[in-house]
Amino acid sequence: MKVESVEVLFDATHSYRGDLEVVLVSPDGSESELAAKHSDSGNDWSDWVFTSTAHWDEMSDGDWTLKVRDQGNGDIGTLNYWSLSLHGTNAIVDSDGDGLWDSNETTHNTDPLDPDSDDDGLSDGEEVLDWGTDPNSADSDLDGLSDGDEVNTYGTNPLDDDSDDDGLSDGDEINIYGTDPTVYDADADNDGFYWFADCDDDNSSVYPGAVEILDGVDQNCNDMTDEGFSGLDSDGDELSDFDEFHNYSTNHLDNDTDDDGLLDGEEVNLYGSNPLVADADGDVDGYYWFDDCNDSDENIHPGADELLNGIDEDCDGLFDEDFQTIDSDGDTLTDLAEYSIFGTNWSNPDTDGDGLEDGAEIWYYFSDPLVADADADVDGWYHFQDCDEGNASINPGAIEIWNGLDDDCDDLIDEGVYPPVPEQEPQPSLETVRVPYQSYVGETAGFRATSANTDDEIQWLIEGQNYSVDSALSLVFGSVGEKNWEVCAVNGNLSDCLNGTITILASPSSTGDGEASGNATGQNSGSGLSGTSGAAGGLTSAQYFAIGLLFLLVIMLAFLVGRRGGGGGGAVKWSQQQKFTNPGSAKLPGAPTLPP
């Protein structure tokens, strides 16, 4: 409302109320002073009513503010409460500024606080006061265009859905056809389709939805010509009606347009000939010129038998191809290769008669199958194989020998063979050695040795004296003492040796004489190598003790036997035969065998 006067109810506690200044501020910002500082020592303002007409004719809507200031010193107060009463008359108000009074907005059911209640781009006031449109409907004429767009953008009548009266709504012209809704659109050929929809508005048979015919025209306005005929073959010649009309210019209702006996489809798809020009068969062999590679020779045509003559009889682009896997003479060369490459006779396996088949000369010997090859030294190898055609012992099949020549023609000399090695003599080996353990001065001592190889020579070395015998040796010693001996089986520069000692006593120590094998060491020698065989030196104390007991037992047995035999006889020699078969190991001799 419009304000005429205001009343302010004011209540405050203060010890000197004349110090307070009270000011009222309206929503427009104007102020009215209700109380100024003055001389009044009274206490408090108790429900005091101030009245002011300073805000006459101002609108009451908005925030009203009360300012209270204490202009004194040394005292304080409290604002307890205040209230405002406005007096005036009702005002004509347009709260949203849309040109309609709030009271009118109520009448039209619009929002007094929204200038465009239907959000169509026209204010409520413009719709009600200027255009007569419905302020609560964005599209008053229901043509698909908002009232605001019709007035402000397109210039159409927001109350007429077809502003140009051409039968198209304003919305369809804008949203669908892209035409001007203020300009009348025509249908020149009266086929029911406007110019913008008809691809030919001068031809009533051409319009969207018309039946398409094969004539090169787009009757149904779908930007395609004669569609539907690409899958149709009316004359059954394997060409579609579309191709016959557009690509080959043939009659789509006549399967042989040139009447040459060939279907239009056969000429195009199989033979590559012109279906508009009749085709001929010059040699009357049943094949047209485009099939026949020689239309002047009836023997040359597709399917003819191929001959080995360098001519393509069957018109497949190949010459004599039937003979490329045939080998009539069995010489590993195909007939085609013999005819066209090598010039040999495909019915004769050895064209030059030299004993070598044509295939062997070409594939293995790399010789000329048209020129006979010779074997000058008659060793069974031709000149192209033999590295020395003047020597029959030299050829690829010869055995290589140590002679400084390439006997087997492999470009290597004496490969895989070595100089002759001198025959190796067999290794000699002593088989048995019999030597007395002791003997007496003036008595004959017997030495005997044999070799495993009968061809070995037996050599003795006794007290520095060499003896070469077949097997046995008898000696008489003239002095007492330990006598050294060595015996060897010798074969060339190889030997197998054994050595030892024999004890020579001054006189017999019993009624019977005896022999026993003595200490011996052995060695093998030959080719600069040496080894040992027989008994090794360095016996242990226990071994010496055992030998002593054995020796004592032998003497006692000899004494008893001598007594039993009546004594008195010549010295009886006993001996122990020992076989040395493991050179390098030492063995004690066994006990001697007593004579009967």
At which residue do the structure tokens 């033979």 appear? Answer: 271
Local structure of residue 241 (DSSP, 8 states)? H
pLDDT at 129 over 70: yes
Local structure of residue 176 (DSSP, 8 states)? I
Range with the poorest average pLDDT among 254-258, 396-400, 466-470, 578-582: 578-582
Local structure of residue 592 (DSSP, 8 states)? P
- The average pLDDT across 49-57 equals 94
- The average pLDDT across 298-310 equals 90
Tell me which residue of 176, 211, 207 sits closest to 194, measured CA to CA: 207
Tell me which residue of 487, 494, 478 sits closest to 518, measured CA to CA: 487
Using CA atoms, how far apart are residues 151 and 139, in angstroms rounded to an integer? 11
User: In the structure encoding, which two tokens stand for residue 489, read together?
Assistant: 């089986």
Q: What is the pLDDT of residues 223-245, one digit of tens each?
A: 899 888 989 999 999 999 999 99
Q: What is the pLDDT of residue 90?
A: 77
The pairing of beta strand 430-434 with beta strand 31-35: unpaired
Single-letter residue type at 213: I
Confidence of residue 566 (pLDDT cuts 50, 70, 90): very low
Asked if 449 and 436 count as a contact pair (C-beta separation under 8 A), the reply is no
Q: What is the pLDDT of residues 145-164, one digit of tens each?
A: 999 999 999 999 999 999 98
Using CA atoms, how far apart are residues 367 and 356, in angstroms rounded to an integer? 10
Instruction: Give the percent of the chain with pLDDT over 90.
Output: 48
Residue 480, CB half-sphere, CA atoms under 13 Å: how many?
4
Q: What is the pLDDT of residues 319-340, one digit of tens each?
A: 888 898 999 999 999 999 999 9
Quickly list DSSP for 81-125.
EEEEEEEEE-----TT-SSS-HHHHHHTT--TT-S-TT-SSS-HH
pLDDT at 203 over 60: yes
The maximal CA–CA distance of the chain, rounded, in angstroms, is 196
Tell me what the pLDDT averaged over the chain comes to: 83
Domains of the chain: 2-89 (2.60.120.260), 324-365 (no CATH), 430-579 (2.60.40.10)
Asked if 435 and 502 count as a contact pair (C-beta separation under 8 A), the reply is yes
pLDDT at 175 over 50: yes
Q: What is the pLDDT of residue 541?
A: 54
Q: What is the pLDDT of residue 89?
A: 84
Q: What is the pLDDT of residue 418?
A: 86
User: In the structure encoding, which two tokens stand for residue 250, read together?
Assistant: 């043939």
Based on the number of CB atoms within 10 Å of its own CB, is 47 exposed (0-12), middle (13-18) or buried (19 or more)?
exposed
Range with the poorest average pLDDT among 389-403, 492-506, 511-525: 511-525
CB atoms within 10 A of CB 74: 7
- The average pLDDT across 5-24 equals 94
Range with the poorest average pLDDT among 90-99, 220-229, 398-407, 482-491: 90-99
pTM of the predicted structure, to 2 decimals? 0.29
CA 440 to chain centre: 99
pLDDT at 584 over 50: no
Tell me which residue of 100, 162, 161 sits closest to 136, measured CA to CA: 100
- The average pLDDT across 378-382 equals 86
Give Cα separations from 501 to 237, 439, 447, 457, 549 (angstroms): 129, 11, 12, 22, 20
Q: Sign of the CA dihedral 448, 452, 456, 462?
A: negative
Q: What is the pLDDT of residue 511?
A: 40
**What residues are paired with 473 via a beta bridge?**
447
Range with the poorest average pLDDT among 140-154, 189-203, 351-365: 189-203
pLDDT at 514 over 50: no
